Amino acid sequence: MTSTLRRRPAQRRSVERVERMLDECALLLDEIGYEALTTKEVARRAEVPIGTFYQFFPDKQGLVRALAVRNLEAFLERVTERIAVADLGHWTDLVDLAVDEFVAMKRTTPGFAVVDFGEVFPTPGGPALEGTNRALDGQMDNNMVVADRLRALTLDLLDAPAGPGLDRALLVAVEATDAVLKLAFRVNPAGDADLIAECKQLVRRYLADHLP
């Protein structure tokens, strides 16, 4: 995955400043939305000079891309922690676990409802702003990056042979999940429970033809 920062913070103080800017960006996305978000206000809220902002981020888009990367890393960390303590009787439990964590982040993580893994949603559930589908990596769609990271995370647990067939199946599953969950959050800003359940059912049935 390509870096979203102009330069990586080396000192603890710089790391803390970058995290504060990302935190304030997330809060402002919920408060005023993407269009009204400005680099000046992020810097003011984070209590850093505007020059410091531009040391790490090229512009507003770069800031939001960095937030999307942080969101993905947080999601994968949450899934990893759940896997470590969960009683997984079957691979289908992984589907439920991953969907539940994504939905929980949509509901509780600042800024996640506007920018989850890169796409920018001016209204809950979309449509996304044009040109934000490759925020995580300039060469690949966001869902391709997510599918690849999930494959790497769960390959040992899936008990399935690695290869293009599995890669394709996981990408289709991620695309399907993305589409149905967008619908769930369009119908209800908190996520429609029935559509979330249908999403899990759809993905489990589809992957049943590709996994043991």
pLDDT value of position 2: 40
Q: Which domains does the chain have, with CATH numbers?
A: 67-207 (1.10.357.10)
pLDDT value of position 68: 96
The answer to whether residues 159 and 91 touch, using CB atoms and an 8 Å cutoff, is yes
pLDDT value of position 155: 80
Which two structure tokens, joined as six digits, stand for 146? 């997510």
Residue with tokens 């990302």: 22
How many Cβ atoms sit within 10 Å of the Cβ of residue 141? 18
The predicted model scores a pTM of 0.92
* Cβ partners under 8 Å of residue 60, min gap 6: 37, 38, 39
Find residue 140's DSSP bridge partners: 137
pLDDT value of position 1: 38
Mean per-residue pLDDT pooled into runs of 10, the chain (212 residues): 59 89 97 96 97 95 95 96 90 94 98 95 84 89 95 79 86 97 95 98 94 78
DSSP state of 150: H
Closest CA to 178 of 131, 136, 146: 146
pLDDT value of position 163: 80
Residue 120 phi, psi dihedral angles, 5° rounding = -100, 125
Closest CA to 23 of 49, 43, 50: 43
pLDDT value of position 127: 85
DSSP state of 20: H
The answer to whether residues 75 and 101 touch, using CB atoms and an 8 Å cutoff, is yes
pLDDT value of position 140: 92
pLDDT value of position 7: 65
